[in-house]
Amino acid sequence: MKTTVNISDSLLEEARKVAARDKTTVRDLIERGLRRILADRKRAREFRLRKATFKGEGLQPGVADANWERIRDLIYEGHGA
What is the distance between the alpha carbons of residues 24 and 18, in angstroms, rounded to a whole number?
8
- Reported as a single tens digit per residue, the pLDDT across 5-44 is 999 999 999 999 999 999 999 999 999 999 999 998 888 7
Amino acid at 33: G
- Global pTM? 0.53
- Reported as a single tens digit per residue, the pLDDT across 47-67 is 788 888 878 877 788 788 889
Q: What's the gap between Cα 80 and its chain centre?
A: 36
